[in-house]
Amino acid sequence: MIHFDNISKRYPGGHDALRQISLRLGKGQMAFLTGHSGAGKSTLLKLIAMIERPTRGQIFLDGVNLNNIGNRKIPYIRRNIGIIFQNHHLLYDRTVFDNVAMPLIIQGYRRQEIHKRVRAALNQVGLLSKEKTYPITLSGGEQQRVGIARAIVHKPLLLLADEPTGNLDPELSREIMQLFARFNQVGTTVLIASHNLELIKEMGSPMISLQDGRVSHNGLPFSISSSQGR
Amino acid sequence: MRNSPQKSSRLRSYFSHHARVSLASLGRLYAQPIATIMTTAVISIALALPVGLYIALANVGQVSTGWDNSTQISLFLHTHVQQQDAEKLMRRLEKHKDIKKVELIDKEKGLKQFKKTSGFGDALKYLDENPLPIVLVVQPRIHPGQPDRTTKLVDDLSKNKLVEIAQLDVQWVKRLYTLLEIANRSILVISSMLAIAVLLVIGNTIRLDIQNRREEIEVSKLIGASDAFIRRPFLYTGFWYGVLGGVMAWLITVSSLMLMEEPIHNLALLYHSDFRLNGLDTGSTLLLILISCALGLTGSWIAVSRHLKDIEPS
């Protein structure tokens, strides 16, 4: 699903965020990305979501070389990805329902279909009763779950999460992680950046550790040099 | 790709999406009435000004068309010509097929008019006799498209033995037309400048709107919104500003005309004219609103293409 081929990313100013990263995450897999802040976790996710472009190397997403995707085509790549942020990026001027509906509206779904899917997504994160409320009235954990509903409402192939439990207490964090595991069970590829090692071990999914922009530990079943399978 | 809805439903939802975005943009304007009214007022004043000038110009042009028809030829007879001979000539000319009307201004009448209008009346006291000739004022029958016919008539009349000078009074009409042409050009220049002002006002308003909705734009981009999708609400906002500005400019123009109608009519009556102010007809009104919409769209397009690409998720 995701294939990093010798990726380096240098930010303007000379900071090397990633150095020669090669990774493969297969379709339907779930993996954790760990490392200290500044190790390059966020940069790696940004490269997949095409928020940043690599300085060197190639990234393949579902077999598509992202280097060949022009800026105008980026939206269509992102429509296959669900992204979850630490600070959830909800819009406070609209209801929970309208927040979750955004990806569907953008992709031109019909009203009835939008209604059905949004309610299904909210049901999955346990917030169906809050559809008409405004995000500002929700707790931190609830807001994060609205963000997750928005990320999965259009049934993306890939879920990316950047520190999704960063601001939550252990109990809520566990709930959120179990939510991700459930999405993974129905076939969604999931990549979660987190420094919550305890919780990661509990989840039992493979772990990739970054240190200073390099892979220091790769728990994925495919070896770095392996060229077969996704 | 995998999750795309079907094509036919997509087309249908495309139109309903447009309808919804346009209404939402209008709703946003309605939600901020003070800001909307102020922006609309600026736009409408900038539009109403050239419209008013054009109406004034069109009316002056119309009035002068009437004057053009009242072109007259003054025949100054030789001073020795007697009253009876002048009257005889008058009756003969009245039968001429190219002449509509002839008026005789005898020496006495001419003197009275001269005293009244020239301001040199007192000077005449020092003259022993009336120095003015008899004047026949000829109103030619105007044949549109045959201006030479009037000129030929003047030629013929000037050859008459009794006539000293035959003068066609059209020079001042020509001057008026030249002035009108200059006014026309000036209004064009003023209109262009005000149109640019409207573009800038709308562009600036949209720019602020984009800044206020920065968060929303970022999130939309992150979840795969195309540039066209993000642009759309702002273009509709510009469009609505154009519509509102155009309608308000029309209201300003119409109410100003109503305010001026009576005094202008009274003035016209003083000149024994039944002139009435011509307002905006339906065509011009539509054109005004159309231009206003075009300015709104263009202004927002400029702002959007300049500022939207600055906002990228990070």
Name the residue among A94, A45, A189 with its Cα closest to residue B220. Answer: A94
Distance CA A140, CA A88 (A): 9
For B26, other C-beta atoms within 10 Å of its C-beta total 17
Compute the nearest-CA separation of A146 from chain B (Å): 14
- pLDDT at residue B119, as a whole number: 67
The pLDDT of B5-27, averaged and rounded, is 78
Average pLDDT, chain B: 84
Q: Which residues contact B273 (CB under 8 A, 6 or more apart)?
A: B66
- Residues in chain A within 8 Å Cβ distance of B229: 75, 106
Q: Nearest residue of A to residue B16 by CA position?
A: A110
Q: Residues of A numbered 175-204 whose beta carbons fall under 8 angstroms of chain B's beta carbons: which are they?
A: none
Distance CA A116, CA A101 (A): 10
Sheet holding A64-65, edge to edge: A16-25, A2-10, A56-61, A64-65
Burial class of residue B7, CB neighbours in 10 A (0-12, 13-18, 19+):
exposed
Distances (CA, A) of A141 to A56, A86, A167: 38, 11, 8
Distance CA A24, CA A228 (A): 10
The pLDDT of B289-303, averaged and rounded, is 94
Burial A108-147 (b: 16+ CB within 10 A, else e): bbbeeebeebbbebbebbebbebbeebbeebeebbbbbbb
- The answer to whether the CB of B213 falls within 8 A of the CB of B279 is no
Residue carrying the six token digits 């009104």: B285
The pLDDT of B110-135, averaged and rounded, is 75
* HEC assignment per residue over chain A: CEEEEEEEEECCCCCEEEEEEEEEECCCCEEEEECCCCCCHHHHHHHHCCCCCCCEEEEEECCEEHHHCCHHHHHHHHCCEEEECCCCCCCCCCCHHHHHHHHHHHCCCCHHHHHHHHHHHHHHCCCHHHCCCCHHHCCHHHHHHHHHHHHHCCCCCEEEEECCCCCCCHHHHHHHHHHHHHHHHCCCEEEEECCCHHHHHHHCCCEEEEECCEEEEECCCCCCCCCCCC
Phi first, then psi, for residue A173 (nearest 5°) are -60, -45
Q: pLDDT class for B110, splitting at 50, 70, 90?
A: confident
Name the residue among B163, B161, B139 with its Cα closest to residue B73. Answer: B139
Distance CA A62, CA A59 (A): 10
CB pairs under 8 A between A and B: 76
Touching check for A79 and chain B: CB below 8 Å?
Answer: yes
Touching check for A83 and chain B: CB below 8 Å?
Answer: yes
Q: pLDDT class for B217, splitting at 50, 70, 90?
A: very high
Q: pLDDT class for B162, splitting at 50, 70, 90?
A: confident
Using a CB–CB cut-off of 8 Å, the residues of B that contact A are: 1-5, 9-10, 12-14, 16-17, 215-216, 218-227, 229, 312-314
Q: CB–CB of B314 and A111 under 8 A?
A: no
pLDDT, one tens digit per residue, over A93-138 is 899 999 999 999 998 888 889 999 999 999 988 899 999 999 999 9
Nearest by CB to A79, from B10, B14, B224: name it.
B224
Touching check for A89 and chain B: CB below 8 Å?
Answer: yes
- CATH number for region A1-80+159-230: 3.40.50.300
- The length of chain A is 230
Q: CB–CB of B1 and A80 under 8 A?
A: yes
Q: CB–CB of A105 and B17 under 8 A?
A: yes
Burial class of residue B144, CB neighbours in 10 A (0-12, 13-18, 19+):
exposed
Angle between helices A140-152 and A170-185 (to 10 degrees): 10
Q: Nearest residue of A to residue B217 by CA position?
A: A91
* Count of CA atoms in the C-beta half-sphere (13 A) of A178: 9
Q: CB–CB of B4 and A111 under 8 A?
A: no
The pLDDT of B4-15, averaged and rounded, is 66
The pLDDT of A58-84, averaged and rounded, is 91
pLDDT, one tens digit per residue, over A140-181 is 889 989 999 999 999 999 999 998 887 788 888 888 899 899
- Residues in chain B within 8 Å Cβ distance of A72: 226-227
Q: What is the residue type of B243?
A: V
Q: pLDDT class for B142, splitting at 50, 70, 90?
A: low
- Residues in chain B within 8 Å Cβ distance of A12: none
Nearest by CB to B226, from A75, A89, A111: name it.
A75
Q: pLDDT class for A226, splitting at 50, 70, 90?
A: very low
Best mutation target, B32, B222, B229, to test chain A (most A CBs within 10 A): B222
Touching check for A49 and chain B: CB below 8 Å?
Answer: yes
- Consecutive H or E run containing B186: helix B171-212
- pLDDT at residue B81, as a whole number: 83
Compute the nearest-CA separation of A30 from chain B (Å): 20
Touching check for A11 and chain B: CB below 8 Å?
Answer: no
Domains and CATH numbers, chain B: 17-67+174-310 (no CATH), 72-169 (3.30.70.3040)
Compute the nearest-CA separation of A45 from chain B (Å): 11
- Residues in chain B within 8 Å Cβ distance of A84: none
pLDDT, one tens digit per residue, over B69-85 is 567 788 888 888 888 88
Q: Has residue A219 got a pLDDT over 80?
A: no
pLDDT, one tens digit per residue, over A193-211 is 988 888 888 888 888 988 8
Which residue would you say has higher pLDDT here, B159 or B244? B244
Residue carrying the six token digits 């940043």: A52
**A181's tokens:** 């595991």
- Domain ranges across chain A: 1-80+159-230, 92-155
Which residue would you say has higher pLDDT here, B29 or B178? B29
The pLDDT of A6-33, averaged and rounded, is 89
| Angle, alpha carbons A120-A79-B306 (nearest 5°) | 125
